[in-house]
Structure 1
Amino acid sequence: MSLLLWYLFLCSVIALDTSNDDDMITYITLPQHRVLKWNVTYYDRPDLEVAPGYWFVAPYHLNQGEPKTNRWTPCQIGPYIFDYKGDLVWAGSCEFNNQNVYDFQVVDTIDEKPYLTMLVQENFANRESDGSAIIYNNEYKLVHSVPRPGATIDNHEFYLKEPPNALLITHKNEDMTLADFGHPERQVSIRTNGFIELDINTGKYLFEWFSGDHITLDESFTLNPNDRFLDVDYLHMNSVDKSTNGDYLISARHTNAIYLISSQDGQIIWRLGGKKSNFEMDFQFTGQHSARFVSQNSTHIIISFLDNGATFMAVNEPTSSAMNPARGNMQTLSNTNVLVSWSYYGYMSEFTHDGQLLMDASFASERFSTYRAYKFPWRSRPVYAPTLLSSCYGVNGSALSTVFHVSWNGATDVQRWRFFARANATAVDREIGEVAKNGFESSFIASGFMDWVSVQALDSEGNVLGASGVLRTEPPEYWPGSVSGLVPDDPAAVYGEEPVQLPVKFGAFSGLFMGFVASTIGYFCFPVVRRLAPLVQLRYSCDGTYEEELGLMKEKV
């Protein structure tokens, strides 16, 4: 045990970064990424269930984007998919070079197939463009990119409610007078908002609306006419939706109001909240986000939105969740549960329709937030192959072992991994073992020096979903003398003529420990430590069913 502790200590020293990264995780098969860890709590509600689905988030550090640097930076900002335990399903940050991504979600209204949509922010050093609106299919292939014209489209909304038509929020600066405040002689620059509905195939605007023509400056709670210098975002729109009859619902944070806009002439049909509300209200809200139509008929409209104006009075655990003065969203889920994203630190909660708290989750790091978070069903079999890495460990030909690490970034249906090896480059593949998928990355240890190796991804019924190519196993870099004398084992000789299915499965940390033991029999040196240091960053998660996880209730996973 003391030797193992010494080894882990040395690894931690070697892997030490200039910043604290114990809230991140690194995978052997995903070396360019540092992925956020989660704190997850499920509450004791045995008669209630959380909705099925995966979490769709897009962590960022700086709202205006990351500064450009010549120094290598790990991929950690951008779109991610996680399962209900917080285990990684898909990491997409390298796809967009660590640029901020907003409103990352699933839409299933395009040819009745699921797609991923998001807004990608251009690096803030390049202000020629604000980035693009992106659509991926469920194989993670880019199928559409909608260039955003200049700096007129902001990062709040990209909503394909009626494809190919998309809703986006716009902004521009306008010279306006302060006549609404009794100063018609004073002209100032005001940031105004609007929205567009466009055809993503042609780029044609189908409807365009701007607030300056309809919402007066005195509705704003942020504009002070006595300020000497004014360059004010007086409205700050943060969502737009479209009703079944074609009218538009917008939310404006800085007027504390929600507006229904006519699709016929752009006039305001009604205001809810704010200084000029058309309704008598027995409640108040401020700074709201994510206004959405829920249902509508000839006499009634039901909408939902996130009220960012709660006042902290007291905490009632475990029924309380979180508060957030800015950003965030709420989403009605498939089983009528509600998911609320509180934005800061990735905090989100799932409630029953009548308000009972079922789940809390947040990033382990307080350095990152997500503008919105969603939960959707999702199935994917990526077009690219699973990633497999294998290395041989041992000294002087004794107790050689081959350690495998495998993952398939974005695949959702993999349940098991089946491993193969060959005696030489042209020999027949021999099955050498099979293990259950364990989190994002799984490990397997084979006896002997297995070379020319490959892996198959299997679903719950044993069907092959995908396979890696055949690759060579990396020999021990500390092998005395030349590795040319190291001869791979014949898998048929090690495991018998008939393929053998091994009953043993290893988690990531177990694989690390067994590899370490095999590597240090009779010999230990610094290069071994340096070689295996990244392994200690692997997250170990229990191989349990969903019901078993819920049985833990208030335990963190």
Structure 2
Amino acid sequence: MLMHGLLISLVAISGVRADFGPYEQSTAYDDGDYGGWPTESFRSTPVIGPSLNILQNSDLCNDGYIMLAPEGNAVRTPGPMIIDQDGHLVWTKQYGQTRDVSVYQFKGDPYLTFCVGPHFIAGYGDASTCYMLDSSYEEVYKIRGANDLAVDLNDFHITRDDTALLTVRNHVQTDLQSVDRPEDGWIVDGVFQEVNIETGELLFQWQAAEHFNFTEAYPELEDTGTEANPWDFFHISGLDKDEKGNFLVSSASMNCLAYIDGQSGDVIWKVGGKDNMFEDLSDGDTTTIIQPYRARFTEDGNAITLFDTTESASRGLFLDVDQEKMTVQVRYQYLNPTDLTTKFGGSVQLLDNSNVLVSYGSSAAWTEYSLEGNPLCEVHFGSAFQFNDDRIASQHVSKHAWTGHPKTPPTLKLIGYEAVVSWNGATEVVTWALEGSSTIPTNKKNLSEQFTLITAQFKEGFETVLSIPPDTSEHVFRVVAFDRDGNPLGSSDPVAWNPTPEEMAAVGAMTAAQKWKLFVFFLVGFLSAAALAVGVWVIRRRLTRGVVKLEQSEEEYERARGVWKPAADPDYNGDERLSDDEIGLLENQAETNSRTSIEKEALKREEEL
């Protein structure tokens, strides 16, 4: 508690400087003046983070962390990213082209999940891997496709049964005569697998070509259907599993949702597409969905959320589904205020606070809405000028609670009289404390006893700068991270500090010898001034006494010295101050006495001559 109080006291008198942070309603940002993917670099680490443009903000959005994976030609350092409520980077790692960053519970513990593979703009990845990281960002599980099939990264979902659902790609030669193509044509079969996360064992596999007719597909074959360029007739764009053990599959190529029996693989029903089985109570607004993404059951299967890439204005949908009466209708829809559209990707997520997060795939943006559809917050992570041009996208964006405790230490860099610190992935840091030592410690077991507290500041943003006091005598520094209760979370490695003479001069810092010389200079100057003042006072004192004695009688002189005392006088009231008349009389008398003395001296000289 004592350390906590001391840190608070130091922070209260210290200024906080951090990374630049997001833009706010920047027209230049959306016009592309800062590039397709504006980023932010830091001095303490080579990590690069996104620089956001916050168009609309609200305190109602201030919970949870944003998870995204920027992809596209403009992204120089692709990988999973976590962003805090204020738009600052929390964690990233350059894994390469990444998709589907999220947080799932697995056997009671939270895991950060994402999938990594080659460039995905075409929608596929070869020999890709899905990762599950624990709260220290250690890779605990790696999931790949079973039966030598490659994960295609369109969706990765952990079920309530602690199994993993993943989409895979499978090029298959098949008869395409039903769509006026040769019988030896080629397709990309829409396949999903359910696998055991710990062992990789295949639990269930489903193939669209065994249950759907090719004539239900909307994309024209054009120059596809060959071995070199197979036809993507189904394109799985979302997976879910309900409590009955059945699966909800989104098909972007057939513009429908399909409910699949978890035992036989048979199609139980379809919403939308050419073979829609539901009565649309919203006058066709539901069953005309286009390229749906990320359909998820909610409310025990009585409702579905999904992203609809309708060309006029992409939107999120909250649907009421009656599986007995076979009716469907729109309960809520989530339309972006600027009528955003997307070529691919997008997602809808119901948040714990009842808000709804909608992301827009190839348009690098997300919007958080109230449940009823009122926009609360809107953020761009790429230039709006380059939406849908393959330069910047994120197929899905999600939001979750997350606590990160990285095993790597904080990173400290000393630049002149600034200590620049960051800790990639740490979410609990509230205060940074700068500690100093005269030498690099040799005993690492008791480092806290070898360092003394120099200053402290609140953490703000990804990177914080602490000012080193100019009079600091220590030559080795480290930083210690503290949580909101004052408990230490971790410390950086000790770093030697050797500021240049120019850096020292810039802040007015001096060595011990320089400080001693300055002290002697001021001391000599003070003593000289004091001696001069005393000498002046003595001279003035003597001169004053001589003049008074010359101009006054002995009695007046003695009175001025404090020796003379007045004679007893019954009319004397104790006031020795002279009246104006008395002062004038004395001055006339003194002048007369002076003239008399001068005249007598002159007569004496004449007589002598």
The answer, yes or no, to whether TM exceeds 0.5 is yes
Once the two structures are superposed, the pairs formed by residues 21-32 of structure 1 within 5 Å of their partners are 23-31=38-46
The aligned residue for residue 336 of structure 1 is 354
- In structure 1, C-alpha distance between the alignment counterparts of 2:100 and 2:186, rounded to whole Å: 29
Which structure is richer in relative contact order (CA contacts within 8 A, separation 6 or more)? 1
Structure 2 CA distance for partners of 1:89 and 1:39, relative to 1, 3 Å: same
Indicate conservation of the 8 Å contact 2:191/2:208, yes or no.
yes
- Give the partner amino acid of 1:469: D
The aligned residue for residue 427 of structure 2 is 412
For these two proteins, the number of residue pairs brought into alignment is: 432
Asked whether 1:49 is paired with 2:60, we answer yes
Which has the larger displacement, 221-230 or 429-438? 221-230
User: Identity of paired residues, percent?
Assistant: 25
The aligned residue for residue 452 of structure 2 is 430
* Largest Rg, 1 or 2: 2
Asked whether 1:475 is paired with 2:499, we answer yes
Once the two structures are superposed, the pairs formed by residues 264-303 of structure 1 within 5 Å of their partners are 264-281=263-280, 282-283=284-285, 284-296=288-300, 301-303=302-304
Which has the larger displacement, 458-467 or 442-451? 442-451
CA shift for structure 1 position 173: 1.9
Gaps of 5+ in 2: 1-33, 315-333, 442-448, 517-609
Give the counterpart of 1:193 among 190, 194, 197: 190
The aligned residue for residue 54 of structure 2 is 40
Once the two structures are superposed, the pairs formed by residues 365-444 of structure 1 within 5 Å of their partners are 365=383, 366=386, 367-392=391-416, 402-426=417-441, 428-444=450-466
- In structure 1, C-alpha distance between the alignment counterparts of 2:511 and 2:80, rounded to whole Å: 41
| 1:370 aligned counterpart, secondary structure | coil
Give the counterpart of 2:374 among 348, 356, 361: 356
Structure 2 CA distance for partners of 1:404 and 1:154, relative to 1, 3 Å: same
Q: Residue by residue, what CA displacement relative to the aligned partner does 1:23-57 show, whole Å, maximum 9, x if unpaired?
A: 221101122x33220001335x7xx8226111000
- In structure 2, C-alpha distance between the alignment counterparts of 1:21 and 1:318, rounded to whole Å: 21
Give the counterpart of 1:213 among 206, 210, 213: 210
The aligned residue for residue 137 of structure 2 is 140
The aligned residue for residue 155 of structure 2 is 157
- In structure 2, C-alpha distance between the alignment counterparts of 1:22 and 1:246, rounded to whole Å: 41
Asked whether 1:308 is paired with 2:309, we answer yes
CA shift for structure 1 position 184: 8.6
Indicate conservation of the 8 Å contact 2:37/2:381, yes or no.
no
- In structure 2, C-alpha distance between the alignment counterparts of 1:185 and 1:457, rounded to whole Å: 66
Once the two structures are superposed, the pairs formed by residues 58-69 of structure 1 within 5 Å of their partners are 58-62=69-73
| 1:162 aligned counterpart, secondary structure | coil
- In structure 2, C-alpha distance between the alignment counterparts of 1:91 and 1:425, rounded to whole Å: 31
The aligned residue for residue 251 of structure 1 is 250
- In structure 2, C-alpha distance between the alignment counterparts of 1:212 and 1:468, rounded to whole Å: 56
Structure 2 CA distance for partners of 1:388 and 1:329, relative to 1, 3 Å: same
The alignment yields a C-alpha RMSD, in angstroms, of 3.2
Indicate conservation of the 8 Å contact 2:187/2:225, yes or no.
no
Structure 2 CA distance for partners of 1:364 and 1:210, relative to 1, 3 Å: closer
The aligned residue for residue 83 of structure 1 is 84
CA shift for structure 1 position 178: 3.1
Structure 2 CA distance for partners of 1:272 and 1:228, relative to 1, 3 Å: closer
Indicate conservation of the 8 Å contact 1:415/1:437, yes or no.
yes
Q: Structure 1 length normalisation: TM-score?
A: 0.71
CA shift for structure 1 position 148: 3.8
Structure 2 CA distance for partners of 1:323 and 1:465, relative to 1, 3 Å: same
Q: Structure 2 length normalisation: TM-score?
A: 0.65
Q: Residue by residue, what CA displacement relative to the aligned partner does 1:418-448 show, whole Å, maximum 9, x if unpaired?
A: 1111123359312110111121100011123
Indicate conservation of the 8 Å contact 1:51/1:333, yes or no.
no
Structure 2 CA distance for partners of 1:22 and 1:136, relative to 1, 3 Å: closer
Structure 2 CA distance for partners of 1:250 and 1:60, relative to 1, 3 Å: same
CA shift for structure 1 position 390: 1.1
Structure 2 CA distance for partners of 1:62 and 1:267, relative to 1, 3 Å: farther
Structure 2 CA distance for partners of 1:446 and 1:267, relative to 1, 3 Å: same
Indicate conservation of the 8 Å contact 2:112/2:133, yes or no.
yes
Indicate conservation of the 8 Å contact 1:287/1:325, yes or no.
no
CA shift for structure 1 position 458: 1.2
Structure 2 CA distance for partners of 1:246 and 1:446, relative to 1, 3 Å: same
Structure 2 CA distance for partners of 1:89 and 1:244, relative to 1, 3 Å: same
- Give the partner amino acid of 2:108: E
Indicate conservation of the 8 Å contact 1:421/1:429, yes or no.
yes
CA shift for structure 1 position 228: 9.1
Indicate conservation of the 8 Å contact 2:410/2:423, yes or no.
yes
Q: Residue by residue, what CA displacement relative to the aligned partner does 1:384-409 show, whole Å, maximum 9, x if unpaired?
A: 111111133xxxxxxxxx21001111
Indicate conservation of the 8 Å contact 1:40/1:85, yes or no.
no
